Amino acid sequence: MPAIIEEGRIRRLLSSVKHPSRYSGGEWGTVPVKDGAGLVRICYAFPDVYEVGMSYLGFQILYALTKSLEYADADRVYTPWPDMENALRADCTPLWALESRRCVRDFDAVGFTLQYELSYTNILTVLDLAGIALRSADRGEDEPLVLAGGIGALAPEPISPFIDAFMAGDGEVLIPEVLACLHELKGAPRAEKLSALAAVEGVYVPAVHGHGKKIRRRIAEDLDEAYFPTSMIVPNTSIVHDRAAFQVFKGCTRGCRFCQAGMIDRPVRERSAQKVSEQLKALLENTGWEEAGLLSLATCDWGGLSETIEKLYPFFTENKIKLSLPSLRVDAFSVNLAAKLESMRKGGLTFAPEAGTQRLRDVINKGVTDEDIEAALEATFEHGWDRVKLYFMMGLPTETDEDLAGILKICGKAVETARRHKRRGEVNASVAGFVPKAHTPFQWEGQASIEELRERGRWLKSNVRGRKISLSYHEPEQTFLEGVFARGDAALAGVIEKAWRDGARFDGWTEFFDFDRWMRAFDALDTDASAYTSGRALDAVLPWDFIDCGVDKRYLMSEREKAFRKETTRDCRSGCNGCGWQGRASVCGHDKN
């Protein structure tokens, strides 16, 4: 019989920690736990705190999808904040799932979502608090299979010793197949289950595959037919993005060379305006949210945007629902569109020029001109906004002092434009260190050192002129560590475990990040961290080469060469660029050459 944590014990623990709502469950929109001994039960685990995990749309989709399967049931758990971790350990209480109160260890599978490299130690926290062996090789027959998906599953090696099976691709396609496989083998030996999962296309089982077999990423080709819930769990406390989120399309056609998501999530697949209008309306009616966000990598590129806004405008107006567009293009069209949405009239607008000069934007194939930036700023302040937030990167390949100075020049242009329109013109510039990512044209490039990033960040801050501009930059040490794990191999698992045992938790949160602790872990295992952020030879075998995302490696090399020639590549909506997807998916829109 599964162990269920009694309510009295839970209440006692909740009374001893801050924000007990993170662990209480019972939110609006949860689906009752199913009865049935033959069901395969999975606990979806998010390797960050509740407020972050509840803001992640993919987690909501997988939960509802699993609940819809007749042979499976789902529950959830989020990484306990350190105060709750300490309380659980002191009370000798195992980690439980929010709805069933079942111990996480007593599920058939635990599924992690991998979104950020600095959350890897939180995976170990969840496993350890649940009483599950950290490493796959040490798990017994009575322990659940540990699964993982998300963007991190496409460069999985640094955590491969901790995970039984990775799912490469869209969960809407993979989860039903994976859970059906485990349902058929319920009660079978662990090794038999892993062998069966290894036969599912898109599933990587480290203990079975090694690196001898290509793992091909799976995609949902028809989004109108793909699963999307018309109800979601509504949080019982404030979260990072507290709104009804709806993904209008997958992929991106712009081809930014630094962008991992834009490369690996090809080809573009759009939902129809009719489907989005129907499903989003039902979602809002069933949840009571007063704000909706249309999500994608570039929502203003979606062909159905204007039609959907027109269809839903009466409903939004009647019910006082706000609509937000989280990803605005840097151009006047996007600003003019936002100006039509009353909900976006407050606050400020956010743009991502990424680089300070036209030359460097051409290197990274950003597809944004100086004229686009000026037009976007003109439209922003002309329409009455007082504030803009600008995102940039530093440490990009071929970056010069002139490129850094260009960041300040754009910020100054924003202030000047606002003044001309008699607006306050507050500018918040955020500068992140560039991290070369797997499966991108820059996957072979060296990463700027901690010292270089700190020097550039300090130079930017010291050269800000005027009280209207606020500039911040990301901690170089965190950027460095992200870069290590973004292109790492299985040898890093020992470092992750060592740092975790020494107290590493929530490394993406500045208040918990301890760089010296990580450096001690690298030293203890005689591992050179900087080797992972160094440049790679073009003919080197990369730790993620066996994952086939659909984009041809020769295309990535070609894009790299074009970057150093400062040549741009057209948006693939304008014609095929030969990335490798043509002919492989009917939704690509291009015939195989």
Q: What is the DSSP letter of 103?
A: B
pLDDT at 346: 59
Global pTM?
A: 0.95
pLDDT at 345: 57
pLDDT at 593: 43
pLDDT at 1: 58
Domain positions in the chain are: 7-216
Read out DSSP for 393-429? EES-TT--HHHHHHHHHHHHHHHHHHHHTT---EEEE
CATH fit for domain 7-216, picks 3.40.50.2300, 3.60.15.10, 3.40.30.10, 3.30.420.40 = 3.40.50.2300
Cα dist from 421 to 169, 381, 384, 424, 425, whole Å: 47, 6, 8, 9, 9
User: What's the rounded Cα separation, in Å, for the pair 16 and 87?
Assistant: 8
Nearest to 259 by CA among 563, 477, 565: 563
pLDDT at 323: 87
Bond from prior residue into 267 cis (ω within 30 degrees of 0): yes
List of long-range contacts for 414-423, beta carbons under 8 Å, 24+ apart: 414/377, 414/388, 414/390, 415/466, 415/468, 415/469, 417/374, 417/377, 417/378, 417/380, 417/381, 418/377, 418/381, 418/386, 418/468, 420/381, 421/378, 421/381, 421/382, 423/381, 423/384, 423/385, 423/386
> Quick one: how far is CA 107 from the chain centroid?
25
Tens digit of each residue's pLDDT, the chain (593 residues): 578 999 999 999 999 999 999 999 999 999 999 998 899 999 999 999 999 999 999 999 999 999 999 999 999 999 999 999 999 999 999 999 999 999 999 999 999 999 999 999 999 999 999 999 999 999 999 999 999 999 999 999 999 999 999 999 999 999 999 999 999 999 999 999 999 999 999 999 999 987 668 999 999 999 999 999 999 999 999 999 999 999 999 999 999 999 999 999 999 999 999 999 999 999 999 999 999 999 998 888 899 998 998 899 899 989 989 888 877 889 998 898 888 776 655 568 899 999 999 999 999 999 999 999 999 999 999 999 999 999 999 999 999 999 999 999 999 999 999 999 999 999 999 999 999 999 999 999 999 999 999 999 999 999 998 899 999 999 999 999 999 999 999 999 999 999 999 999 999 999 999 999 999 999 999 999 999 999 999 999 999 999 999 999 999 999 999 999 999 999 988 899 999 887 777 778 776 54
pLDDT at 586: 75
- CB-based contacts of 347: which residues, under 8 Å, 6+ apart? 387
Place of tokens 């319920």: 186
